[in-house]
């Protein structure tokens, strides 16, 4: 019989655990608790931050986008940021996506807007948006030089292979209004309906989305992919589900886990730091982490007094990560090789 155990603010399912592994993870938990790795970065904006990306050919250079046409640049790996302008006639745009491959980058937003750069962002060129697109873009992915994919708010996937001069639909039939969409490293997608009542998957070669019923009675908040391209799901009330099936269409979901140890907290996004270390963010400064692939969870109390909802968490490399929130809230995570090695034991 499975039972939930709370010990030292650590939640775990005893059927998956043994004493030796528990002691090892408590040591690693202390390594994180004894040093505050998340530092709040002061920014010249109070807008909602929506996406972040760094330039692969210039690892210290990165960009932040957000509401009201917010665009910021860093040249020191995110320690400081400067506001930049796209020379828009109005600040009405919700810049919701940014992505780079080498020094070629893309920015998308709502209402429909698209920018392109070939020099890491020194010059951003506005590309006329195809009026035949089904809806506004909500996700942009730089795939290769000259090649990118856009997903619209209605679930149509478009691809360009000539730096945005032409776009071709990979999925022609709209899926319906979406809450969010995520892309895996192997090019698959998972999309959550606007109501959170169902999700859909797509793999390269598919001609249409595959509809999937949610496993929980609770509505879906968001979904994404693990580092080995399995699905994860956050549902209303703070539950985490992880799929162990070989296919993204599999229904082999593990039993749900509540990282906080109880229902109620709103969890909004998840990111893998490495295959074992996972972080989850949520409303009211909620920040949780696991050091064993999601079996046990601990709360990081260093952020609980930050008056912000955390909407996105991402790790741009093994030592550097960011949390994006409202009110211009940006948290930066940086750790050294020694602690990173401990976390990978």
Alpha helices in the chain (DSSP H): 19-33, 337-343
Q: Which two tokens stand for residue 291?
A: 């050091």
pLDDT at 75: 98
Nearest to 304 by CA among 52, 36, 44, 48: 36
pLDDT at 50: 98
pLDDT at 30: 54
Calpha distance 345→333 (Å, rounded) = 20
In tens, the pLDDT along 57-97 reads: 999 999 999 999 999 999 999 999 999 999 998 889 999 99
Nearest to 61 by CA among 71, 74, 52: 74
What is the phi/psi pair of residue 120, to 5°? 75, 5
pLDDT at 48: 98
Tokens 């930050």 sit on residue: 306
Nearest to 60 by CA among 334, 345, 272: 334
Residue 108 CA to its chain's centroid (Å): 16
Q: Which two tokens stand for residue 283?
A: 């409303």
- Compute the average pLDDT of residues 105-118: 97
In tens, the pLDDT along 126-175 reads: 999 877 899 999 999 999 999 999 999 999 999 999 999 999 999 989 99
What's the order of all strands across the beta sheet hosting 296-299? Answer: 4-7, 10-13, 296-299, 287-290, 278-282, 267-272
pLDDT band for position 7 (cuts 50, 70, 90):
very low
Among 16-20, 45-49, 216-220, the range with the most confident prediction by mean pLDDT is 45-49
In tens, the pLDDT along 230-271 reads: 999 999 989 999 999 989 999 999 999 999 887 667 999 999
In tens, the pLDDT along 297-317 reads: 999 999 989 999 999 999 999
pLDDT at 33: 56
Q: Is the pLDDT of residue 224 over 80?
A: yes
> For the stretch 225-251, what's the b/e string if a residue is b when 16 or more beta carbons lie within 10 angstroms of its beta carbon?
bbeeebbbbbbbbbbbbbbeeeebeee
Q: Which two tokens stand for residue 32?
A: 């994180």
What's the order of all strands across the beta sheet hosting 113-117? Answer: 94-101, 104-110, 113-117, 125-126
Calpha distance 211→16 (Å, rounded) = 31
In tens, the pLDDT along 89-110 reads: 888 999 999 999 999 999 999 9
Separation of first and last alpha carbons in the chain? 29
Calpha distance 220→87 (Å, rounded) = 37
Nearest to 332 by CA among 317, 344, 345: 317
pLDDT at 140: 98
- Compute the average pLDDT of residues 26-50: 78
Q: Is the pLDDT of residue 20 over 50?
A: no
Mean pLDDT of the chain: 88
- Compute the average pLDDT of residues 191-209: 96
pLDDT at 3: 35
pLDDT at 341: 45
**Residue 133 near residue 156 (C-beta atoms within 8 A):** yes
- Compute the average pLDDT of residues 5-24: 41
pLDDT band for position 185 (cuts 50, 70, 90):
very high
Nearest to 118 by CA among 181, 78, 164: 164
Q: Is the pLDDT of residue 342 over 70?
A: no
| Beta carbons within 8 Å of 272's beta carbon, 6+ residues apart | 226, 227, 278, 315
């Amino acid at each position: 019989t499975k039972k939930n155990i709370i010990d030292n603010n650590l939640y775990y399912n005893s059927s998956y655990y043994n004493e030796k592994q528990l002691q090892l993870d408590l040591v690693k938990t202390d390594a994180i608790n004894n040093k505050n790795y998340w530092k709040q970065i002061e920014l010249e904006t109070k807008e909602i931050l929506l996406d972040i990306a760094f330039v692969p050919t210039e690892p210290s250079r990165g960009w932040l986008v957000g509401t009201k046409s917010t665009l910021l640049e860093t040249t020191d790996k995110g320690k400081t940021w400067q506001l930049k302008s796209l020379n828009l006639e109005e600040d009405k745009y919700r810049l919701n996506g940014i992505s780079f491959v080498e020094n070629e980058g893309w920015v998308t937003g709502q209402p429909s807007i698209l920018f392109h750069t070939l020099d890491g962002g020194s010059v951003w060129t506005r590309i006329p948006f195809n009026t035949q697109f089904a809806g506004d873009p909500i996700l942009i992915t730089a795939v290769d030089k000259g090649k990118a994919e856009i997903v619209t708010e209605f679930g149509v996937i478009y691809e360009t292979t000539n730096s945005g001069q032409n776009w071709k639909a990979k999925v022609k039939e709209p899926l319906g209004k979406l809450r969010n969409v995520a892309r895996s490293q192997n090019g698959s997608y998972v999309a959550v309906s606007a109501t959170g009542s169902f999700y859909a998957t797509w793999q390269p070669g598919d001609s249409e989305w595959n509809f999937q019923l949610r496993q929980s009675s609770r509505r879906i908040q968001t979904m994404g992919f693990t580092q080995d391209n399995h699905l994860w799901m956050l549902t209303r009330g703070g539950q985490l589900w992880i799929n162990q099936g070989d296919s993204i269409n599999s229904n082999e979901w593990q039993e749900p886990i509540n990282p906080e140890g109880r229902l109620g907290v709103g969890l909004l996004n998840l990111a893998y730091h490495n295959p074992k270390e996972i972080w989850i963010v949520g409303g009211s400064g909620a920040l949780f982490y696991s050091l064993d692939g999601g079996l046990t969870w601990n709360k990081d109390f260093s952020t609980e007094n930050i008056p912000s909802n955390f909407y996105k968490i991402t790790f741009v490399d093994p030592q550097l990560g960011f949390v994006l929130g409202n009110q211009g809230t940006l948290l930066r995570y940086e750790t050294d090789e020694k602690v990173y090695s401990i976390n990978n034991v």
